[in-house]
């Protein structure tokens, strides 16, 4: 089957212009109406949800009208993304078993919203893992992250999901993203490398790195080197160290302390996803 060309307006296509695949931050004018319609539909279904969203977004109580009117106010159209993100997160459907028709209907609403955002060229997409909106990334990267979160257990899954949403979500928090990414790796690295210290809450990613450096001869990576033998741990230690040292916002008042950038957060979270996969699938292992 022939590959279908990307859509391009007829006038641009006839003029020989390149396909415009740029993404739009905020809420472009053509997206305002559809978002207001989507918000209104969810709000009318669950009026009490509107008050909760308004409170969580620290929006003042409406002097006139209802909370629904407050959420879809045209005064600040960019706030519509914040409202959509919060409506998704606090929607009662997440408390329902996934086999219920009501939950499946909600899933359908989220898929329709995602199509809407794609058609509008929005920088954001629906993030089912983080229960909200997230910045669009390469589909392969997104799939790897989703699979890592799905396979993670307990606190590791929570930290990884929070890291991803803090890096790519609406109102991104780069400092939190890097902090949560490190915690996610600590959840798998510390019990693996330093089980005794981990059991007494004395292990950190930094101490795990130190242990691997001091006793690297006891460990190996299953990927072969040029000789065909399992590789030394140097490469994974370097990756762990890269993530650990990337957090310059760890301590206030330090000479190098500063707010982290969004680009740093995204890189750190993507590195954490790879590290999590390696550490939780025996890529790093003790020598027999």
Q: Each residue of 261-276: pLDDT tens digit?
A: 988 998 999 999 899 9
CA 86 to CA 53: how far, in whole Å? Answer: 6
pLDDT category of residue 112 using cuts at 50, 70 and 90: very high
Strand partners, 105: none
Q: What is the pLDDT of residues 171-226, one digit of tens each?
A: 778 999 999 999 999 999 999 999 999 888 889 999 999 999 999 889 999 998 88
Average pLDDT, the chain: 85
Q: What is the pLDDT of residues 140-158, one digit of tens each?
A: 666 666 777 666 667 888 8
Q: Give yes or no for a contact between 197 and 203, defined as CB atoms under 8 angstroms apart.
A: yes
CA 191 to CA 144: how far, in whole Å? Answer: 23
Number of H helices, E strands in the chain: 13, 5
pLDDT category of residue 259 using cuts at 50, 70 and 90: confident
Q: Give yes or no for a contact between 241 and 275, defined as CB atoms under 8 angstroms apart.
A: no
pTM (two decimals): 0.70
- Could you state, in order of their start, the residue ranges of all structural domains in the chain? 23-136, 156-286
What CATH number is given for 156-286 in this structure? Answer: 1.20.120
CA 238 to chain CA mean position, Å: 24
Q: Say yes or no to pLDDT of 74 above 60.
A: no
What Å distances lie between residue 23 and 5, 79, 135, 263, CA to CA? 18, 18, 10, 17
Strand partners, 104: none
DSSP state of 279: H
């Amino acid at each position: 089957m022939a590959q279908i060309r990307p859509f391009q307006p007829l006038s641009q296509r006839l003029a020989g212009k390149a396909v415009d695949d740029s993404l739009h931050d905020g809420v472009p004018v053509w997206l305002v109406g559809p978002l207001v319609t989507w918000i209104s539909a969810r709000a009318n279904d669950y009026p009490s949800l509107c008050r909760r969203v308004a409170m969580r977004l620290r929006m003042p109580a409406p002097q006139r009208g209802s909370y629904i009117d407050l959420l879809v106010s045209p005064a600040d159209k960019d706030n519509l993304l914040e409202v959509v993100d919060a409506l998704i997160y606090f929607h009662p459907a997440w408390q329902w078993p996934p086999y219920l028709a009501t939950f499946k209907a909600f899933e359908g609403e989220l898929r329709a919203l995602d199509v809407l955002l794609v058609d509008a060229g929005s920088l954001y997409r629906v993030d089912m893992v983080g229960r909200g909106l997230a910045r669009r990334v390469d589909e392969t990267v997104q799939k790897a992250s989703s699979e890592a979160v799905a396979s993670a257990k307990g606190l590791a899954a929570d930290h990884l999901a929070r890291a991803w949403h803090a890096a790519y979500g609406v109102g991104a928090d780069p400092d939190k993203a890097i902090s949560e990414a490190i915690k996610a790796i600590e959840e798998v690295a510390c019990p693996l490398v330093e089980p005794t210290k981990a059991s007494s809450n004395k292990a950190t990613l930094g101490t795990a790195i130190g242990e691997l450096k001091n006793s690297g001869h006891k460990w190996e990576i299953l990927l072969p080197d040029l000789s065909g033998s399992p590789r030394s741990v140097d490469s994974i230690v370097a990756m762990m160290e890269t993530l650990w040292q990337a957090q310059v916002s760890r301590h206030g008042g330090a000479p190098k302390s500063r707010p982290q950038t969004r680009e740093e957060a995204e890189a750190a979270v993507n590195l954490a996803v790879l590290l999590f996969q390696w550490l939780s699938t025996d890529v790093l292992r003790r020598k027999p």
